[in-house]
Amino acid sequence: MEFLLTLASFVMYIAGLVLILYTTPRLLSYLYDDLRFMGTASVELIGGILAFAGVGVPLIIFDGNIPSRVLAFLLLAGILFVTARIAFRSSRSRALPAKFLSSRIVAVVYSLALFVIAFYCMVLLFTSPVR
């Protein structure tokens, strides 16, 4: 049973990162007050939730022992890499007109928030005591 739950968490993690990678460029092409922006942003939020759920499930299944913490650390490092890349790409897209500046700001802030949360979780992984 643990194997199936771990496999499902990997699928959630990959699905979350794919959603983040492919919806952020679309988010940059809509105005902030557009309904399509809201829908795309909600898909991006679901991607973040799935990515972090994929990290948390193995920790819960295996009671937070050292190998599961190392696995969670590696998964969080993947989230750090993807969100840093997305934040950099979103802040550097100069081809878009100035009217999409608010959309770029929202995408960068969301990516940086995911980056900070992933880094904070990495710190908590090894500062909290092992049971």
CB burial of residue 130 (10 Å; 0-12, 13-18, 19+): exposed
Distance of CA 74 to the CA centre of its chain: 14
Question: Using DSSP, how many helices (H) and how many strands (E) does the chain show?
Answer: 4, 0
pLDDT tens per residue across span 54-112: 999 988 898 888 888 999 999 999 999 999 999 998 888 666 677 778 888 889 999 99
- Summarize the confidence of residues 35-61 as an average pLDDT: 92
Q: Indicate whether this model's pTM tops 0.75.
A: yes
**Is the per-residue pLDDT at 119 higher than 90?**
yes
Please state, rounded to an integer, the average pLDDT across all residues of the chain.
89
Instruction: Report how many domains make up the chain.
Output: 1
Residues of the domain holding 31: 2-127
Provide the 8-state DSSP code for 32: T
